[in-house]
Structure formats: C-alpha cells, structure tokens
Structure 1
Amino acid sequence: MLERLIESLEAAPMVQRGDYHYFIHPITDGVPLLDPALLRDVACAMVTVMDLHGVDKIVTAEAMGIHIGTALSLMTDIPLNILRKRSYSLPGEIAVHQSTGYSTGQLYLNGIEKGDRVVVIDDVISTGGTLKAVLAALENAGAEIVDVCVVIQRGEPELGRAYTPLVTIDVDADGVRVIDTCR
C-alpha cells in the first residue's frame, strides 16, 4: 500500500533553502500534481494504523493536511476539523502559536467541544512545532486525543506522546531516502 508513496518520495525533486535540503512532493506541497491513487493509498494506510474507534472528529492544520484529512473523512464518515490560518472570531476560538524549523505563525481552532474524541493527522513532521501546538490547543479545549498520525517523519522529532508516521525519511543533497515504514 505504501509503494507508490515510497517511489514518489525517492523521486522527489530537491531545492536548497539556505542550509536546508527541501524536497518537493505532492503530499507535502500539492505540486507538481497530486495523483488520486497516491492520496487514496495514504488515506487507506492511515485507516489501517490509526485507532478510529469512537472518534468524533479528525483534526488537521491548514494547509497541507486538508487534502489528507478530506480523503480520510470521506472514507470513514468522521467529520473534519481544520485549524485555520486566520481568525473567525467565533465564541471559544483558540489562537495557536506554531513554530517550525522554517516558519512561525498563528493557527485558530474552532469547533472542538470538551469531551470530543479526536485524531490528529498531518502531512509531515520534522521539528514537531506545529503538532505540539495543535495538541496543546486540543487539550486546552478539553478534547481527548485518541491518536496522532503523520504521513512523513523527517528526523526524530519528539512530541511528548506516541504518534505513527507512515514513512520515515532522510534527506540530503542527493535526495530523499525512505528509511522506515509503519509496516
């Protein structure tokens, strides 16, 4: 099920951003083209590795978690909640400051109620900055975090809780190498 993901990662184009080797991939960047079969493979793999029993909501952050969350929501009939990059000023909105290895910003959490059972998904984890902030906001809102799953893990980020990456990669000037999978 992960063969298409592995092949596409290992063929991903590279760009240099300062000292950072950045890979361009449809799952993490939406370019050059997101193949429906690849997205379906990713969502199917998530369904097989995640605990979705009794889950009320799938939670992801804008922007690159949206397509993955949508596919997962369509497959499971679990509603999708998206942390957005702009405030809607709704009652109970929680501002979430996120800091990654290459950016900082605000996300806004709406629509989570105390006692909601949620799973959190994302496209990639490299520093853990975004996911740590999202998890803290969900806990602050009173949600029960049932499971956390990311498509791609780069490096060895620590969240302070268990999470499942579908694939773990190493990236250098020569490209992307998949070094582990959830199988």
Structure 2
Amino acid sequence: RVLIDAFVHRYMDPALRPDVVAGLDARGFILGAVVAYELNVGFVPIRKKGKLPFATVQETYALEYGSATVELHTDAVKPGDRVLLIDDLIATGGTMMAGKKLLEKLGATVTEGAAIVDLPALGGSAKLQAAGLPLFTLIDFAGH
C-alpha cells in the first residue's frame, strides 16, 4: 500500500494528474493499473509485439543483443491526452523511450515517466531526461 500511495499522492496534484496511465509490458501493468484505478483514470497497456488483438502502432528499440518491438492500440489514447508512463524499473531506458514514442505518435503528451527503481549507472534515466521526459522514481541504485 505504501508503494502505491507514493505514486498516487504524487499524481493527485492537478499539475501532474494524468488523463491516462500507460503501463509497460509486463510489470508496468501491475503498478500502472492500480495507480490508474486509484486516480480514477483510464489504463492502457503497451505490449510486446503480437499480443494485442486490434489495430496497433509499433515502435522497435535496440537491446544489448538485438531489438524488440512494442505495440499500442491505435485508439488507446486521444490527441492531447496527458499520459503517465509507468514501469517497475528503468535500466537502459529503451522500453520507456519506445512507449513515449508510441504515445506521441497518437498525439498524446507523456507528462512523466515513473518507476519504482532506477539503475542510473546503465544510463537510461539520463537518456530519457535528455529526450525531454521528466522522471519520478522511488529508489535509485547507483552502481546497481
């Protein structure tokens, strides 16, 4: 409860309150769905390729040894929606950056990226912030 409350209390602030919470596959679903419920806003999943049943937009991103693709339903958000993008962990930032790009393709504004844990030594949080995405994390494991 304390973990969820830390996110919910932050995003109850009218300046930060989202219209929609988007959760990254798969642990972002658990955290994001509960936060969305507590804020009384919608939740949308950003899934690995091939998991969503309807029309989607895709974004491919680099992994250490290859690439991965994530998808979002084309009707998941509306232009102008304020979206909180949430996951459990920020490591290299690739998945969160791909999620940000997907949401922006549909005209949404990603107001903040949030995670429980940041591993700053892997460079993801710096990369995301350099791309203009403000971040909120509860724990930083420097040097992981």
Q: State whether residues 36 and 42 of structure 2, in contact with CA within 8 Å, keep that contact through their aligned partners in structure 1.
A: yes
Q: Does structure 1 residue 78 correspond to structure 2 residue 58?
A: no
Q: Does structure 1 residue 154 correspond to structure 2 residue 119?
A: yes
Cα offsets for 1:22-71 (capped at 9, x unmatched): xxxxxxxxxxxxxxxxxx22211112334663522100111111110122
Residue type of the partner of 1:142?
Answer: G
Which of 132, 139, 144 is matched with 1:167 structurally?
Answer: 139
Q: What corresponds to 1:41 in structure 2?
A: 2
Residues 167 and 137 (structure 1 numbering): CA distance in 2 closer, same or farther, change over 3 Å?
same
> Larger radius of gyration, structure 1 or 2?
1
Q: State whether residues 12 and 39 of structure 2, in contact with CA within 8 Å, keep that contact through their aligned partners in structure 1.
A: no
Q: How far does residue 163 in structure 1 lie from its aligned partner after superposition? A: 0.8
How does the TM-score come out when normalised to structure 1?
0.64
How does the TM-score come out when normalised to structure 2?
0.79
CA distance in 1 between counterparts of 2:66 and 2:7 reads 27
Cα offsets for 1:89-147 (capped at 9, x unmatched): 634x2112133447732111111221212111111001111111111111111001222
Gaps of 5+ in 1: 1-39, 173-183
Q: What corresponds to 1:105 in structure 2?
A: 68
Q: What corresponds to 1:11 in structure 2?
A: none
CA distance in 2 between counterparts of 1:60 and 1:96 reads 15
1:1-183 aligned within 5 A: 40-50=1-11, 53=14, 55-87=18-50, 88=52, 90-91=54-55, 93-101=56-64, 104-110=67-73, 111-155=76-120, 156-157=123-124, 158-159=127-128, 160-161=131-132, 162-171=134-143
Q: Give the root-mean-square deviation of aligned CA atoms.
A: 2.2
Gaps of 5+ in 2: none
